[in-house]
């Protein structure tokens, strides 16, 4: 049988409002900006990371859809072999900071960043991940050669074309 599994990294994009507190940081940042004019990010509680410089691999949902479409096409077109079966990471392969994410959410609205750092809740401090980044070698080796949206491109598209016109649906 031909099969794949995907490990999604920090996916963001249109139609995530129903996820509540599990929606992306971009969605929440947009709504914070709309309500208060600022975004609150966690302070770092590690000396090797500055406040707001915690890193995640943020991937735009449109890129996720492109990868899934490519995989389905390749599998059904008989280009997929059993050797390609397995689990694949799905991110961009490039971690970015929460500060970058928040600043780009402001920029996409034509605003200057206004970011405040708050203490991380005690109950998550010892579990908090300061760095995640997808290793994309396996997907690239399988033949996927398309670029991923930069954080600037993805956040810009999401905010300008989905959040602003619909008032944050």
pLDDT digits (tens, 9 = 90+) for 87-110: 999 999 999 999 999 999 999 999
pLDDT value, residue 169: 47
CA angle 26, 32, 35 (to 5 degrees): 145
- Please give the Cα distance from 72 to 99 (Å, whole number): 35
Q: Are strands 4-8 and 86-90 parallel, antiparallel or unpaired?
A: parallel
- The chain-wide mean pLDDT, for the chain, equals 94
pLDDT value, residue 168: 47
Above 90 in pLDDT, residue 165?
no
Q: pLDDT band at residue 74, thresholds of 50, 70 and 90?
A: confident
Q: pLDDT band at residue 76, thresholds of 50, 70 and 90?
A: confident
Q: Can you name the residues that pair with 5 across neighbouring β-strands?
A: 87
Considering only 12-16, 77-81, 115-119, which range has the smallest mean pLDDT?
A: 77-81
Q: Are strands 58-60 and 10-12 parallel, antiparallel or unpaired?
A: parallel
In this prediction the pTM is 0.92
- Residue 157 buriedness (CB in 10 A; 0-12 / 13-18 / 19+): middle
Q: What is the mean pLDDT of residues 13-39?
A: 95
CA angle 96, 99, 105 (to 5 degrees): 95
CA angle 88, 90, 94 (to 5 degrees): 125
Torsions phi, psi for 88 (to 5 deg) = -125, 140
Q: Can you name the residues that pair with 8 across neighbouring β-strands?
A: 90
| 3-class SS of residue 159 | helix
Above 70 in pLDDT, residue 166?
no
pLDDT value, residue 87: 97
Above 80 in pLDDT, residue 86?
yes
| Closest by CA position to 40, among listed 97, 99, 110, 96 | 99
pLDDT value, residue 19: 93
């Amino acid at each position: 049988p031909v099969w794949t599994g995907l490990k999604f990294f920090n996916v963001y994009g249109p139609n995530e409002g129903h996820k509540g507190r599990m929606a992306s940081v971009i969605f929440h940042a947009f709504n914070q900006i709309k309500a208060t004019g600022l975004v609150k990010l966690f302070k770092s509680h590690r000396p090797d990371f500055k406040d707001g410089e915690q890193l995640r691999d943020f991937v735009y949902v449109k890129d996720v859809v492109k990868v899934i479409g490519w995989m389905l096409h390749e599998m059904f077109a008989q280009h997929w072999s059993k050797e390609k079966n397995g689990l694949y990471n799905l991110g961009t392969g490039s971690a970015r900071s929460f500060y970058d994410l928040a600043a780009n959410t402001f920029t996409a609205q034509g605003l200057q960043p206004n970011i405040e750092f708050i203490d991380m809740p005690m109950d998550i401090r010892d579990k908090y991940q300061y760095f995640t980044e997808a290793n994309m070698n396996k997907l690239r080796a399988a033949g996927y050669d398309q670029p991923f949206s930069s954080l600037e491109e993805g956040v810009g598209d999401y905010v300008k074309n989905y959040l602003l016109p619909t008032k944050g649906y």
